[in-house]
Structures are given as structure tokens and as C-alpha cells.
Amino acid sequence: MNVSTILIILLIGAFATYFSGDKLASKVALLFSLAALGCSIVLLNNYNAGENISVINSWITQPKISFALNADGLGLAMVLLTAALTPIIIFSSFGNEYKNAKAFYGLILFMAFAMTGTFLAADGLLYYIFWELALIPIYFIALIWGNGDAEERRKAVVKFFIYTLAGSLFMLTAFIYLYTKAGSFLIEDLYKLNLSACEQLWIFLAFFLAYAIKIPIIPFHTWQANVYQKAPTVGTMLLSGIMLKMGLYSVLRWQLPIAPLAAKEYMNIFIALGIAGVIYGSIVALRQKDLKKLLAYSSLAHVGLIAAGSYTLTLDGLRGAVMQMIAHGFVVVGLFFAAEVIFRRFETREISEMGGIRTQSPKFTSMFLILVLASVALPSTFNFVGEFTVLYSLSQINIWFAILGGTTIILGAYYMLRMFQHVMLGETNSKAFADVSLNEGISFAVIIAVLLFFGFYPKPITDLITPSLENILQVINKN
């Protein structure tokens, strides 16, 4: 078995879900997503046993393009994140009804297929194809099944699509230029290029535009909050939990090793942009009245810190960034699902119209509180491991970076706990709040179990990703 198996499962699952009809679509999608998760676990065991599960085959001879999938620890960690979150996201949607459900769930699996391919691709053009394919399903998911006024939703989604596509064209231009130098799109050949400082700067900036928009890093973030708010909760989970990780992962896999001189020369600028996102996202989150928008800006603050850690070019920074990527994926999916559970009962996302949930639903209150505490990186949660490691790496570069980046803990605790107070405590909303259903409880329990288990015992993940990150740093430090 090799890593192409998981792609085949997800692609077949997308078509099988569509042709299964509306009544069975959700169950078929869940079945195939669980099969993909099982396959990813088997592949992980094979990888740990020393088996070569990577794939490289000639695809197109002119230009020279290979169907190359590289399965190292970093790639497998991101594949496992995708494979684990996809069934959780699908299962969490069972409390909603969707028109044309077969298309809706088929698009979810197709998006998971494209994102998985992005994390595995070891050929630049193949990587670009998967990168762009992931944009298509989320465009339709947000446009057709989104919330609010149709015209406002259309404007937000079209802006996101055009903005992201435009940034990606700069990345494609960079790959074409690199091909003229290497005669190949294979990542190992691109790593070996001896580019001048000027060439590396332009390549670095071309990649940065694509990744800064996808992550997003300020000032390229303007699409994010509106799309997160307008998209259905499933779409928001896919965007925040997995899709933005494509940009963060690509910084480590493609941008830094190919253009290390530019990364070293302008390190402080890009770390500063990440930290600016931490402060800006936290301050704007304080002013939000819509629960989904508050969580969107909270996510902006957290990914800013992850980006800052990535650009430190230290093992601690890269390792902390990957740990935080995975932790953030689970906690942000849990928080957006909590917002969806509240919307199902109260039919509002306005924080001022909520309240009193604690007296009606103590189970939901307890689970929501754990997610909030994980979000603010309480020790013993998975997020603490990643954030602490990133802040430590920032202190190695400049103590002020660590101090300013650490504001995410203080500001995050303030706006998240204040939000919890308004939403869960206080006067009771006039509408009754039923306690969590079995499906909802299982979704929360799985997410919380992951956050607590790896909060106490992160070693399996650090052991998995560290060798790959060390190899990336070796490539960076050769230049």
C-alpha cells in the first residue's frame, strides 16, 4: 500500500456520495471518510515500520511532470489531520438538513481529496493542481449553502475566490521560472537549485503572496471574516480547520527551502507580520458581536503566531508551528461546531441574544468551556504545547517578539472568557436550550479527547515530524 490509496478512497468516495442520492449521501460520505482515516493510520504504521510508501511515476514527458507523492513525517501529520477532521466535520453536520445533499457531501470529500494531495505532492505542478482543486468545492459550498443575504454572500465568496486565485498565479509563475532552471518540477530538484539572492527574493515573494492570502496573514486577510461568517458551519470548519493549514504547511515545505537566503535576510519582517496578525486579530475579536466573526478573528490571531514561528528558521519554531497547526485544527473545528449547536437552538449568532445556557445544558457548558480553555492554551491542553514552543523559539530570535506574541494568551483569554460569560451565563434566553444530542456529544468528546491526550503526551507527534523538519532545516542551512 502507498499514499495514493488514500487519494483513491476519497475521490471514489466523492463520486459514490454524489450518486448515492440525497437520503444516503451523508452516511456514504461518513463511511468513505472513516475508510480514509483507517487507511491513513495503516500508512502511518507502515511508515514507522520503515516501508517506502511514497510514489513517483513519470506523468507528462514535455514539460517533465511527475506524479510524485512524498510521504514523510510532516506530510503524514497533515494527512492525518485532514483524515481525522473530515469524518468529524461530516458527522457534526447530521443535525442539519441540506438541499441537494448528495452534491454537498460529495464536495466535502472532493475537497478532502484535494487538500490531502496538496500535503503529499512532491512535484511543483502536481502540487499546484491540487492546491487549486481545493478552492473549487469550498467556493460552491459557501456560495450555495451559505448563510445570510444571498447577494452579500456572493460578493464575499467571489472576493475570496478571485483573491486566492490571483495569489496562486504568482506561485505558478515562480514554479515555471524554477522549471526553466531545473528542467523539472520535482521538489528534490528544486531544492538543489543554486539561485542568486535576487532570484530567491522574487521566488520567496511570489510564494508569500499565495500563502499569505490562504493562511491569512495581514494585510492579506480581508476576505476571511466575511467568508467564515457567510459560509455554512461545515464550510467554515473546512476552511479554518484544514484549508488554511495548506498555506502554513507550504511555507515549510516549499517557500523556505527553495528560497532560504531571502528567508534569512528578511526573517524579522515576516515574523513581525505574523505577530501583527496576533495583535490585530485579538483586538478586532474584542469588538465582535457575531459569534462566528469573533471566532474568525480569534483564528486570525492564532495563525499569525503559527506563521511567526515558521519564519524563525529554528527547529523549535518549525516544530511548534506544526504542533500548533494540528492543535488549532481540532480546537477551531470544536468552537465553530459549538457556535452551530447554539444556532440550532437559538437561531441567532448575535452574542447579545444568547445567555443562560449553563442552567439548561450543563453538559454542553462543560464541553464548551474545555474548548475555550484549550483555545487560550491552558497548560495540559494540546494548544499549550504548540504555543509555548513557538514563543520559546521567538525568544531565541528576539525577546520582544516573544513578549508581543505572548499577548495572544492575555488578549485571547480576555475575549474568549468574556464571550463565554455572555453566551453561557447571565439571563436565560426566552428559547429553551435542549442539551446536546448523542451525535453532538460524540463529536465534542472526540475533539476534546484529542486535545487533552496530546496536551499530556505530545511525543508521538513530535517524534513523527521532527526528522522531516530537521531535513528541511538542513536544506535551508546549506545556502
Considering the domain boundaries, does residue 361 fall inside one?
yes
Considering the domain boundaries, does residue 415 fall inside one?
yes
Among candidates 211, 324, 327, 313, which has minimal Cα distance to 271? 313
Among candidates 308, 295, 291, which has minimal Cα distance to 240? 295
Instruction: Return phi, psi of residue 437, to 5°.
Output: -80, 175
Among candidates 216, 214, 225, 231, which has minimal Cα distance to 166? 214
Return d(Cα 80, Cα 85) in angstroms, integer: 8
Which helix (H) or strand (E) segment holds residue 69: the answer is strand 65-69
Return the bridge partners of 58, or none.
66
18 within 8 A of 26, measured Cβ to Cβ: no
- Degrees, nearest 5: CA angle 340-345-346: 95
Instruction: Quote the pLDDT of residue 81.
Output: 97
Instruction: Quote the pLDDT of residue 346.
Output: 87
Considering the domain boundaries, does residue 103 fall inside one?
no
Burial of residue 474 (CB within 10 Å: 0-12, 13-18, 19+) is exposed
Among candidates 272, 264, 118, which has minimal Cα distance to 187? 118
**How many C-beta atoms surround the C-beta of residue 22 within 10 A?**
15
Return d(Cα 375, Cα 393) in angstroms, integer: 20
385 within 8 A of 454, measured Cβ to Cβ: yes
The residue to which cell 511525543 is assigned: 459
Return d(Cα 423, Cα 291) in angstroms, integer: 9
Considering the domain boundaries, does residue 453 fall inside one?
yes
Per the document, the length of the chain is 479
20 within 8 A of 102, measured Cβ to Cβ: yes
pLDDT tens for each residue of 283-305: 999 889 999 999 999 999 999 99
Alpha helices in 49-72 (DSSP H): none
Considering the domain boundaries, does residue 340 fall inside one?
yes
Low pLDDT (below 70) residues in the chain = 428-430, 479
Instruction: Quote the pLDDT of residue 352.
Output: 84
**How many C-beta atoms surround the C-beta of residue 152 within 10 A?**
14
Considering the domain boundaries, does residue 272 fall inside one?
yes
Considering the domain boundaries, does residue 112 fall inside one?
no
Return d(Cα 460, Cα 102) in angstroms, integer: 37
Return d(Cα 131, Cα 176) in angstroms, integer: 16
Considering the domain boundaries, does residue 393 fall inside one?
yes
408-439 residues labelled b (16+ CB within 10 A) or e (exposed):
bbebbbebbeebbebbbeeeebeeebeebeee
What total of structural domains would you count in the chain?
1
256 within 8 A of 313, measured Cβ to Cβ: yes
Burial of residue 197 (CB within 10 Å: 0-12, 13-18, 19+) is exposed
Among candidates 322, 310, 382, which has minimal Cα distance to 75? 322
62 within 8 A of 112, measured Cβ to Cβ: no
Domain extent at residue 397: 266-479
Rg of the chain, C-alpha, whole Å: 21
The DSSP 8-state label assigned to residue 183 in this structure reads: S
Return d(Cα 438, Cα 441) in angstroms, integer: 5
The DSSP 8-state label assigned to residue 434 in this structure reads: P
Instruction: Quote the pLDDT of residue 170.
Output: 94
> By three-state DSSP, how is residue 9 classified?
helix
The residue to which cell 489531520 is assigned: 81
